[in-house]
Amino acid sequence: MISSAIKKEQFIWIGSIVVFMLLVVLPFYAPLNQGTAELLTEGDFSGTLWNVRYEAPAAALLLPLLLISAILAMSPIRKKLKLRLFLAISLLGITLFLVQVVLLTPELKLTSGAFILFFTFLTLLALTLSRMGIIRGDSFISGSILSISVLLVIFILFPLLVILVRSVVVEGSLKPGNFIRTLTAYPSTMRILKNSILMAGTVGVLSTIIGLAFALVVERSRFRLRQFMRAFSLLPIITPPFVIGLAIIFMFGRAGWFTSGILGLRVNFVFGYFGIVLAQTLSFAPMAFLILSGVIRSLDSALEEASYTLGSSRWHSFKTIIWPLLRPGLANAFLLSVIESLADFGNPILLGGDFDVLATSIYLAIVGRYDEMLAACLGLVLLSITLTTFIIQRYWVGNRSYVTVTGKPSRNRLLPLPKGLDYTLVGGTILWVVLTVTLYGSVITGSFVKLWGINYEFTLQHYKYFLEVGLESYFTTLKLAAISAPITATMGLMVAYLVSRYTFFGKKTFEFTSMLSFAIPGTIVGIGYVMTFNTGPLFFAGTAMILIICFVFRNMPVGIRSGMAALQQIDVSLEEASITLGASNFYTLRKVVLPLIKPAIFSGLVFAFVRSMTAISAVIFLVTAKTKLATTVILGRIEGGKLGIATAYCTVLIVTMMIAIGIMYFFTNRTSKQNNAVAV
């Protein structure tokens, strides 16, 4: 006890000294176009210590505070008094820092020294809070909670706040009426809103119906299609944006294989409502399928059998037993499809034509009209719709669910469907599969023919062209996705671990905020980041850093969900046993928890990677000439009419994704086999 207490004191003391030494070299501020690395290579070694003397009077006070805490750590005063002093020092430090950065020099760009200084005081606060017992758990836990909270505020909540402020503040003064005025002044507002709701509603209904059909066939049909149909759920994961859009153009467009080649028509009907709805339904039905198959699997056949033995007919059993149990699942699938549809950017931008929706209008407001105010106002409209839907889904439908979707499936014998219904559903789903396969096939075929619709001669010219103009962006994307994936997985896992194993003040908000990314359309994240990180203390614009940050916070819910599911499988008493045997929380996490959830970590890693590779809606606002990404290059080529290279690039991405998924299956199967070997 005494020895470990001394260790903590030493940690503060040594930590303060190390930080001090770092601050001698690392600068506090940097010019907008430079970072720490550039300053140091230029030979500018005037670090924070010199930096803050003239430019940052409030931050300059932080340095003496740091020294005081170092001395305080070693001084022999009462523990209670010492902790109070530490609390005061850390809070004062954070306040001074914020005063300096937000109020005194909001226009100066911060760099490494400033971040180190801030997190030093945050660490001190974490240490103090955990030792005072305000946050239970040790300093590792309290440090993680505080740091992740700060990051969530900066990279999820703050950009939203900036958008809100942007829509109601005109030339420095608050004008709440501006929001309404901007929207009414813009002639297309009502049409866009109507289009968006029409699109999302249709897609929600269709996705749910098709997802339900697939779920019934996979779970309850007498045909053995299970394995084959399961693969269906993986499709949207390995599909870059635009693939389905391109395929629809190839099949049903002006020079479409079906419309023009078979029917001999020259029609444009695919651009607009029809095209978007078809593309989005193809994209989102698999998600509805995943949700509903979980629900159907956990329906206990005994309930139905009980109903039959009590003398009710099949139809009556369905109406009174199955339908009520299924309803929450259907609502879930519908609402999540609606969110995805509204947030989707790739399909509407490609197939929209005159049919403009919120996500694309926001993009065009920024890119075409340079009207940030309009973008912010439209963004708020979109955000309020998706957020409302998300909250309904999470708190209203979520609570009404009678079956646990995440729990272990009950392995009872499932009653097959009635014959007539079975044949109809199997027929319908096979047709849908044929359509899907044809569409994907057309994109891959399209990448090997000279000019789709006109000249079907085999060629590799598109791939040659890809090697010339696409390779750089491909590797940039690979690199950034590979960097962000482990960060995403780690943070997601940490959040899942903290939320599922600890109680702390503000935990509900913490969890909600971290899952919020799912309900914030990428377009909004994009404009939020542009408005927030293009100026001021947190200037990241044009850097690879901002793209990585964007990937991490957009994809975190994936990591959280897989982490949560894995942690639910682990008996908490394993961790408690480790703790009572003398291990720290960190040691327990490393030696007990992590080895047991390895497969989940790995799948979180791969999905984070794949989602980063295919991201478009947010990053399109953040890329520059230096940091081109695969998806933005593809969009550029499509807009330039070069569909050949676009399909070639898409094919390369699909293959990349399949390799990533393949590696994941290989590894998770291997590790689970190893675990089984132990478990037998």
Partner 1 sequence: MDETMTGTADLRFENITKKFGNVTAVNDVSFQIDHGKLVTLLGPSGCGKTTILRMIAGLEVPTSGKIYLGGEDITDMPPNERKITMVFQSYALFPHMNVYQNISYGLKVKKWKKDRIQVAVKEALDVVGLKGLEMRGASELSGGQQQRVALARALVLKPKVLLFDEPLSNLDAKLRNRMRGEIRNLQKDLGITSVYVTHDQSEALAIADRIVVMDNSIISQIGGPVELYTRPENNFVADFIGEANIVEGELLKVEGDLALIKLGGMQLKVPYSSRPEAGTPVRVMIRPEDILIQPEGKTGITGKIEFAMYQGAMNDYTVVTEMGELRINDYETKGVVKVRGTKVSLSFREDSLFIVH
Enumerate binding residues for partner 1 (CB under 8 A). Answer: 1, 3-4, 133, 136, 138, 571, 573-574, 576-584, 587, 591-592, 595-596, 675, 677-680
- Residue with smaller CB distance to partner 1, 174 or 679: 679
Residue 298 amino acid letter = S
Distance CA 288, CA 334 (A): 7
Residue 646 amino acid letter = A
Q: Which of 286, 506, 525 is nearest to 386 (CA)?
A: 525
Residue 57 amino acid letter = P
Write down the least CB distance from residue 144 to partner 1, Å: 16
Whether residue 629 contacts residue 473, with contact meaning beta carbons closer than 8 Å, is answered with yes
Write down the least CB distance from residue 566 to partner 1, Å: 14
- Residue with smaller CB distance to partner 1, 593 or 638: 593
Write down the least CB distance from residue 675 to partner 1, Å: 7
- Residue with smaller CB distance to partner 1, 310 or 581: 581
Write down the least CB distance from residue 564 to partner 1, Å: 20
DSSP 233: G
Distance CA 507, CA 504 (A): 6
Whether residue 497 contacts residue 136, with contact meaning beta carbons closer than 8 Å, is answered with no
Distance CA 596, CA 590 (A): 10
Write down the least CB distance from residue 582 to partner 1, Å: 5
Whether residue 97 contacts residue 62, with contact meaning beta carbons closer than 8 Å, is answered with yes
- Residue with smaller CB distance to partner 1, 133 or 187: 133
Distance CA 653, CA 675 (A): 33
Write down the least CB distance from residue 595 to partner 1, Å: 5
- Residue with smaller CB distance to partner 1, 87 or 469: 87
| 626: its two tokens | 């230096």
- Residue with smaller CB distance to partner 1, 314 or 598: 598
Residue 394 amino acid letter = R
Q: What is the CA radius of gyration of the chain?
A: 28
| 470: its two tokens | 């696409």
- Residue with smaller CB distance to partner 1, 174 or 581: 581
Distance CA 100, CA 115 (A): 13
- Residue with smaller CB distance to partner 1, 1 or 103: 1
- Residue with smaller CB distance to partner 1, 103 or 680: 680
Write down the least CB distance from residue 671 to partner 1, Å: 10
- Residue with smaller CB distance to partner 1, 424 or 568: 568
- Residue with smaller CB distance to partner 1, 267 or 574: 574
Write down the least CB distance from residue 76 to partner 1, Å: 20
What residue ranges in 400-485 does DSSP mark as E strands? Answer: 449-451, 455-458
Distance CA 186, CA 182 (A): 6
CA separation (Å) from 271 to 83, 264, 277, 351, 453?
Answer: 66, 18, 10, 5, 17
- Residue with smaller CB distance to partner 1, 62 or 593: 593
Write down the least CB distance from residue 588 to partner 1, Å: 9
Give one DSSP letter per residue of 496-533, joined into a string. HHHHHH---TTHHHHHHHHHHGGGS-HHHHHHHHHHHH
- 289 HSE (CA, 13 A, CB side): 25
- Residue with smaller CB distance to partner 1, 2 or 310: 2
How many CB atoms are located within 10 Å of the residue 25 CB? 17
Distance CA 565, CA 404 (A): 12
Write down the least CB distance from residue 479 to partner 1, Å: 33
Give the β-pairing of 455-458 and 29-30: unpaired
Residue 169: which H helix or E strand, with range?
strand 169-170
| 569: its two tokens | 């499988």
Write down the least CB distance from residue 578 to partner 1, Å: 7
Distance CA 560, CA 381 (A): 27
Close Cβ partners of 87 (under 8 Å, ≥ 6 residues apart): 125, 128, 129, 132
Write down the least CB distance from residue 151 to partner 1, Å: 26
Write down the least CB distance from residue 408 to partner 1, Å: 17
Write down the least CB distance from residue 676 to partner 1, Å: 10
Whether residue 182 contacts residue 374, with contact meaning beta carbons closer than 8 Å, is answered with yes
DSSP 567: H
- Residue with smaller CB distance to partner 1, 174 or 678: 678
